[in-house]
A and B are shown apart, each in its own frame.
Chain A
């Protein structure tokens, strides 16, 4: 098997001529964690559904684990594990019953179903809740069970469609840890769709950004961020009237950043943190006091903005490139 997932010009057109996926090319290597990042409606889930044989492509071709998704669907299904959006789990069944059912679906014997269920329940920390109906589980428990269900037959490729949407931070971290463990210990290829930048950043070796059914950028998170350019120095003058003056000072160090929060001045800073002190001195010399200062490293959101002109939903929505991480300081 050369590629775990290979898609060429993959298209899905729905009734009414709506092209949810419009010529997607993908190459995911065995053992890789590939992050598929995009806003709601970008075509992430439709792509996953085609790769998981739940939806027939209307154009292009794709293979998963070396099998064609259209003509060798059954072989694809034997090779993949799928945890779809919203953890579609029957709330009236218990965790153990669902694992047993999943085992039967994948052709496991009764004894294998039992031992696999025990092992996976233990692995995802649900042994104590195994006999409880899933309707009583928390969101995090459901997601962990969903992951366990996808692993019943030890798939070589695992599709996780927005696995942490709606989870609290603790549950999210626990799930990330499990995905990492799965990838490093079992060598499972993971195709992960997400609208969370941090998730893609933390988990994925490579990231594809999809918008309007097309891949607009692809590479390692570091490569993509490097494409955006230098870090941005964003300052908020203590006196809002001095914003323009502050901007004039900052553009001496690098090009102006136009997408920034109101009332702030911002410029790219070639050299990054090493030149912050110099910029601050220049502001001092111009008599400008700052209420806050932020050195904003490029994020995948900035990559998204650079490629599409828009921000990802739920990630700042028109706010600054400084809205997230960076060194924060406060002077005078």
Chain B
């Protein structure tokens, strides 16, 4: 266990410094959530008149932006792993006696940490835009939801990378993550959605994550708002964890 933690920590550290040294990866993943925050809140300012639980669409958009930033961090974990597999760096890791689970645990830890960072930036931007911070407990919930989604998307993306073993699989990683966000309650609450979009939003785990984060962000959260979000994260981590680990087991077999 101690070895797993030590190696995972080392690989998480590596993932963080690589992000810092690759501005082409770091800048978009930071700028996009901010862009979404500003552009969406600006474009849909009038939507605040609709029954969305707040008159301030910027406050409504903050959880969406934090989840988007977490999604970028998660996808980056997958693309980095795909690059490492393609370039042979993974061979170095798996030809050592280090626990193989670290290969997944390190990058997803880094994805969680990166999600916390982008969430902080988005919350600061929201505060500058006039949205009051959601209090200590509310802030913790927003962070947990973002980090949980970041880890889940990292597991998804790494599972893809471990099967496809090429950077060319990156669009698939992104597609599923962004479709899952956009078919949730990213732009509008479920009450304003109809037909098949509403059905997808009802079943989409991202909906629960966003609703938990949004309820706390808008200041009226209770345990009944938060637990479905925690449940959705637990479900995603269980399913996508199995997805990533089965991919890991395939290394060296095919």
Assess whether A90 is in contact with B89, with CB atoms less than 8 Å apart: yes
CB distance from B59 to the nearest CB of A (A): 38
Could you mark each residue 147-187 of chain A with 1 if its beta carbon is under 8 Å from any beta carbon of chain B, else 0? 00100000000000000000000000000000000000000
Pair A105/B93 contact, Cβ less than 8 Å: yes
- Is the pair A92, B91 in contact by a Cβ cutoff of 8 Å? no
| Neighbouring B residues of A15 by C-beta, 8 Å | 254
Q: Which residue of B6, B7, B88, B252 is within 8 Å of A84 (Cβ)?
A: B88
Task: Please give, as numbers and ranges, the residues of chain A lying within 8 Å of B238 by CB-CB distance.
Answer: none
| CB of A317, distance to nearest CB on chain B (Å) | 28
CA distance A52 to B95 in the complex (A): 6
Residues from 79 to 105 in A contacting B, C-beta threshold 8 Å: 80, 82, 84-86, 88-90, 92-93, 97, 101-102, 104-105
Q: Which residues from chain A contact B93 at a C-beta distance below 8 Å?
A: 105
B87 on the A face (CB < 8 A):
yes
Stretch of B17-25, B47-55, B152-160, B207-215 that contacts chain A = B17-25
**B97–A77 CB distance below 8 A:** yes
- Is B45 positioned at the interface, with any CB of A under 8 Å from its CB? no
Q: How far is the CA of A93 from the CA of B18 in the complex (A)?
A: 8
Determine which of B7, B87, B88, B253 lies in contact with A105 in the assembled complex, contact meaning CB atoms within 8 Å: B7
Question: Given the known A-B contacts A93-B14, A101-B14, are A107 and B89 also in contact in the complex, defined by CB atoms under 8 Å?
Answer: no
- A212 and B92 CA atoms in complex are apart in Å by 27
Q: Mark B94-116, 1 if CB is under 8 A from A, else 0.
A: 11111000000000000000000
- List CB contacts (< 8 Å) of A1-45 with chain B: 14-15
The yes or no answer to A315 lying at the interface (CB within 8 A) is no
The answer, yes or no, to whether A55 is at the interface (CB within 8 Å) is yes
At the interface, yes or no: B39 with Cβ under 8 Å from chain A? no
Whole-angstrom CA separation of A97 from B6 in the bound complex:
15
Specify which chain B residues have a CB less than 8 angstroms from the CB of A133 in the assembled complex.
21
**In the bound complex, do residue A104 and residue B6 qualify as a contact, i.e. CB atoms below 8 Å apart?**
yes
Chain B nearest CB: distance from A33 CB in Å?
20
B7 x A104 contact (CB < 8 A): yes
Report the nearest B residue to A100, measured CB to CB.
Answer: B10
A189: B residues at CB distance < 8 A: none
* Residue among A88, A101, A102 making CB contact with B87, cutoff 8 Å: A88
Write the chain A residue with the least CB distance to B86. Answer: A88
Which one of B11, B22, B92 lies within 8 Å of A92 (CB-CB)? B22
Q: Tell me whether A104 and B92 are in contact (CB under 8 A).
A: no
Asked whether A53 is an interface residue with its Cβ less than 8 Å from the other chain, the reply is yes
* B194 interface residue (CB < 8 Å to A): no
Interface CB pairs A-B, < 8 A, 6: A82-B95, A84-B95, A92-B18, A102-B92, A105-B98, A107-B97
**Contact, CB under 8 Å: B96 / A105:** yes
A97 → B minimal CB distance (Å) = 8
Q: Is the CB of A55 within 8 A of B252?
A: yes
Looking at the assembled complex, report how far the CB atom of B105 sits from the nearest CB atom of chain A, in whole angstroms.
14
Would you give the shortest CB distance from B221 to chain A, in whole angstroms? 41
A77-B89 in contact (CB<8A): no
Name the residue on B nearest A108 (C-beta). Answer: B6
